[in-house]
Chain A
Amino acid sequence: MKKLLVGIIGVLTVLIALPLLSAFEAHIINVSATIENALSVNTTALDFGTVFPQEHLKQPLTVQLSNSFLAEGRVDNVEYFIRQKPKCAITWDGGQSFDAGSTKTGHVMAGDNPATPAVHESYWIDCGETPRALDTEKGEVWGVLPSLCEYLSKEAVTEVGRSPNDETQPSFHVPFKIFHGDNQSTPDVVETDWVYWKDTEGVLSKTHPIDPVDNWLIDLAVPCFGGHCAQDWADFVHRLNPAADPTLFIQPIENEHKVFGCDLWVEVSAVI
């Protein structure tokens, strides 16, 4: 009888102590872990293959609400943007061949690269660790690919034309810029340099208006290379982007025949 009583008291003590510990944790030991209302998706490879200067090629990209989101009744709209980031890869043959299965997104870091003290940069691209061991005999190198981002357009289309609630970004633009000083839009953080991204915004909606799918066309306007540009290069650029300066988008001749790359990320900015 005495043992039973002791046992019951023990169990009751634990049962009482746990909610007390929980309350203690909630009010005094303030540790929180929350899932952010955000999602970043790196698209599958949109392979344009071997291309020629001033070619204009198109690839589709579909962004939609997932089945699990449509099944939920709580939320309605999702605001997102498409961001272009540098692509890192293992290359050989002087950058003319690459391992498509071992690529990573490069992180744009504002400021001077501490690893290159002899050179002063306004930004640098951090590719991180190589995803596999390099075959040095083959001449493999891990690094950032020449950028294709400037030459990719993003246009949201519907059966009757352009989507009314999504932005359009023509080819021949600068995918990001580095600004010096503090970014006023992030008052919680004090920066000396920061990155401004030229994003393309889109909206998905379950109701009012019903827009659960955005069909994007990703166009590649192939650049020409220094000294080898056709006479109508400026017309080609202005036809696609009247505001662009054609001279800024001519690639150096040493990049001819190289593999170019750009990682497209779809990032959710708000759930309403």
Chain B
Amino acid sequence: MEQEQSIATEKNKLSFANKVILVILAIVFIFVFYLTLDANKYRALVQVVEGEGQIGVNPTASALDFGDLSRGSSAVRRVALTNGTRWPIYVLAFKTGNIRSLIDIDENYFRLEPHSSTKIEFLTYIPASAKIGDKYQGRVYLFKVPLLF
């Protein structure tokens, strides 16, 4: 009986290689979890209004709010990004929601050097096919991945 228990314990023990893999996976998980937690998450929205030459503005910094726009008009919001560290960072932006197809990002997937700043422009365009009164909403996620070199 004691011999059977000993064999079962031996089988349940992780090998050294498995332990290393487990530690690496745990570190990767924490790193990804941290990047997700640290990412800037912005609400993005725009409303389509009737008529030509109609512009409704909301320039507050609480969201990427492009305001009320008529069909055929476009609006730009900017996000100022500063890297005050001694290491470069890699910047990635993702869009979600039904506003996703209306937003163009002028600079994405780029490296930001140490002690430097840049501005990312988010441009939205209201196509002729947009329905009057429709609200396009979504989120923009800005990930900042630290690089070692």
| Residues on the A chain within 8 Å of B79, using CB | 33-36
Q: Evaluate contact between A36 and B80: CB separation under 8 angstroms.
A: yes
The CB with the most chain A CB atoms within 10 A, among B47, B78, B146, is that of B78
| Residues on the A chain within 8 Å of B38, using CB | 22, 25
The CB with the most chain A CB atoms within 10 A, among B54, B55, B65, B79, is that of B55
Contact count band on B: 35 or more
Q: A117-141 interface mask toward B, CB cutoff 8 Å, 1 = contact, 0 = none? A: 0000000000000000000000000
B95 within 8 A of A: no
B96 within 8 A of A: no
A240 within 8 A of B: no
B120-149 CB contacts (< 8 Å) to partner A = 142, 144, 146
| Residues on the B chain within 8 Å of A36, using CB | 61, 77-80, 119
| Residues on the A chain within 8 Å of B142, using CB | 33
Q: How far is the CA of A45 from the CA of B126 in the complex (A)?
A: 13
Q: Evaluate contact between A31 and B73: CB separation under 8 angstroms.
A: no
B89 within 8 A of A: yes
State the Cβ distance, B27 to closest chain A Cβ, in Å.
11
Q: Evaluate contact between B47 and A67: CB separation under 8 angstroms.
A: yes
B103 within 8 A of A: no
Q: Evaluate contact between A35 and B37: CB separation under 8 angstroms.
A: no
Q: Evaluate contact between A43 and B76: CB separation under 8 angstroms.
A: no
B1-53 CB contacts (< 8 Å) to partner A = 30, 33-34, 37-38, 40, 42, 45, 47, 51-53
Q: Evaluate contact between A68 and B80: CB separation under 8 angstroms.
A: no
If A42-B75, A63-B55, A68-B58 touch, does A33 touch B68 (CB 8 Å cutoff)? no
Q: Which 5 A-B pairs rank lowest in CB-CB distance, beginning with the nearest? A: A30-B84, A66-B56, A69-B58, A66-B67, A268-B59
